[in-house]
Amino acid sequence: MNFHGHQIIGKTTSAESGETFTGIDPRDGTVLPGEFHEATNAEIDQAVNLAAESFDTFRHTSLEDRAAFLEAIADEAIAFGDEFLIRASAETGHPLPRCTAERGRAVNQARLFAKMVREGSWVDARIDKALPDQQPVPRPDIRSMMKPIGPIAVFGASNFPIAISVLGSDTISAFAAGCPVIIKAHPAHPGTCEAAALIIQNAIKKCGLPDGIFSLVHGRSARVGTELVKHPKLAAAAFTGSLNGGRALFDVANARPVPIPFYAEMGSVNPIFVLPGALEERADGIAKGFIEALTTGVGQFCTNPGLVFGIGDNSGWDTFRSTAAELATEYDPQTMLHSGIHYAFEEGVKAMQNMGGLTLKARSIREPVEQKSEAACYLFETDSEGLLDHPQLFEEVFGPVSTMVECQSPRELEAFAEQLDGSLTASIHGTEEDLETYKNVITVLERKIGRLIFNGYPVGLDVCDSIHHGGPYPATCHSHFTSIGTRCINRFVRPVCYQNWPNAALPPELQDENPIGIMRMVNGERTRSV
């Protein structure tokens, strides 16, 4: 397909700036077709103003209309064909089957949200009817529900160019809530972003919705994202990326005259705890699963396991270490997403190699090709003293590198669990007896972790109603919220309360007759009854 490289502002395009950039194939450095224009401040202003103008119309659409819109996005993503996937593969180095799977995830995600929107209980409608005879003070009629907050800025992830980008959960959940979206296209996959934007435009036209509910702006500079977050008509922003980038924009959001929520998913070390009972039973199998998780997608998952803890006075730990090392050497270096990520990975590994008390246990045998931005697998090891001497090991290095830490007692494991920063996941391999012996470790992790995994691995998650993809800082800015799964809609709504309001003037979700049949809390009881 041909790429115009312009800002997409509602149904119009704009290219005021002569400053352009291109997509690059990280596998060989090839410049890909299309020149993409850096957004000007005036174009950003136009996009947000248009979203604000469209908000009242969009937020008053019915739940059915919004659900149909999400389903139209899913249908259009399939109808668009494979050109979309081919461009995503070229801009990221992801194999085509991976891009196809990502599209499937995005499509299923949109349909999951459509189902949730129709069901309606997510609006959390609550009704406390008037009690004029209540003592000592009569109670008025009080009703409340969740309502959309306004235009949302979305910053897509570099590692998921389809499933956590323009068509990702941030965009879909904002639309589900009734909020317009302005996308900051990722500069590493601008063509993929433009194609995805056309998919959404097609769905908007198909459903007869206001054009202004969706815009997309390009930019390599920090200025574009900063100006977008600073815009006074923006209601919130969602970001997936590095700790430095997310924290910088979080600070911008909070420095505004009127601060706004900034939901960032950032750095996470995702520890694995391999307990003695499990090591005795299946040390080889756990090691195999660990290396698979470490190297899947060239280690470019936000849930990549960066630390592994085990007890040293156990023969199973030695087996685990040796098996993991053998498998790490067999890993064939692969191309990373782009040269910037590759450079940061190489610098992170160099820093680890210069740490005293940290030993390089294994490394891919084949040398990576720098011109192809390839990353080898690196497996380090240390003991408790080495970890204490280098607290930076508790920080994420994005890519296929991990450190095995040998501990001497349950108390030592508990102490290291206490030192962990907030993380998206922690994996515990053990038996039921292990869980009892190490229950204090689990108790600590419940305070530190968003998703606790038993006898499994952190990479890969199912997009469903129950999933939580979040955690305490620095995993995210707000540990109460998730960026994946249907609960992520809660970021883009707020409660609005109506007191003594005439029934006919209330939103349908709060009217006495419950015309759309949703589950509500009425006088303290959950019911679909009127």
What values do phi and psi take at 131, rounded to 5?
-125, 85
Domain ranges of the chain: 7-17+34-266+481-491, 272-454
Tell me which of 38, 265, 406, 509 is the catalytic residue: 265
Closest residue by Cα to residue 158 from 173, 150, 149, 168: 168
Distance between CA atoms of 26 and 45, rounded to whole angstroms?
33
Q: How confident is the model at residue 156 (pLDDT cuts 50, 70, 90)?
A: confident
pLDDT value at 418 more than 90? yes
At 326-336, the pLDDT tens digits run 999 999 999 99
Distances from the Cα of 525 to the Cα of 78, 497, 520, 521, 522, angstroms: 42, 18, 8, 5, 5
* Paired tokens of 232: 């006074």
Is 265 annotated in the active site?
A: yes
Please say whether the beta carbons of 317 and 406 come within 8 A: yes
Q: How confident is the model at residue 363 (pLDDT cuts 50, 70, 90)?
A: very high
- Rounded to an integer, the average pLDDT of 496-516 is 96
Question: Considering the domain 7-17+34-266+481-491 in this protein, what is its CATH number?
Answer: 3.40.605.10
Which pLDDT does position 267 carry in this prediction? 85
At 288-298, the pLDDT tens digits run 999 999 999 99
At 60-92, the pLDDT tens digits run 999 999 999 999 999 999 999 999 999 999 999
Q: How confident is the model at residue 529 (pLDDT cuts 50, 70, 90)?
A: confident
**H helices of 331-470, where?**
339-353, 384-389, 410-419, 432-437, 439-448
- Rounded to an integer, the average pLDDT of 468-497 is 95
Encode 473-482: b = buried (16+ Cβ within 10 Å), e = exposed.
Answer: bbbbbbbebb
The sign of the torsion formed by the CA atoms of 178, 181, 186, 190 equals positive
Q: How confident is the model at residue 1 (pLDDT cuts 50, 70, 90)?
A: confident
Q: With pLDDT > 90 as the criterion, what percentage of the chain qualifies?
A: 92
Element (H, E) at 113: helix 96-119
Higher pLDDT, 214 or 390: 214
- Rounded to an integer, the average pLDDT of 140-151 is 98
Distance between CA atoms of 323 and 287, rounded to whole angstroms?
6
pLDDT value at 475 more than 80? yes
Give the contacts of 8 (CB within 8 A, at least 6 positions apart): 194, 197, 201, 214, 215, 216
At 104, the amino acid letter reads: G
Which pLDDT does position 460 carry in this prediction? 84
Tell me which of 99, 179, 302, 377 is the catalytic residue: 302
- Rounded to an integer, the average pLDDT of 375-396 is 92
Distance between CA atoms of 326 and 133, rounded to whole angstroms?
76
pLDDT value at 513 more than 90? yes
At 420-467, the pLDDT tens digits run 999 999 999 999 999 999 999 999 999 999 999 999 999 988 899 999
Q: How confident is the model at residue 472 (pLDDT cuts 50, 70, 90)?
A: very high
Is 302 annotated in the active site?
A: yes
Fold assignment, 272-454: Aldehyde Dehydrogenase; Chain A, domain 2 (3.40.309)
Q: How confident is the model at residue 165 (pLDDT cuts 50, 70, 90)?
A: very high
Which pLDDT does position 312 carry in this prediction? 83
* Paired tokens of 22: 């291109």
One fold for 7-17+34-266+481-491 and 272-454 = no
Please say whether the beta carbons of 468 and 479 come within 8 A: no
Average of per-residue pLDDT values in the chain? 95
pLDDT value at 313 more than 80? no
pTM assigned to the model: 0.95
Which pLDDT does position 140 carry in this prediction? 97
Which pLDDT does position 315 carry in this prediction? 80
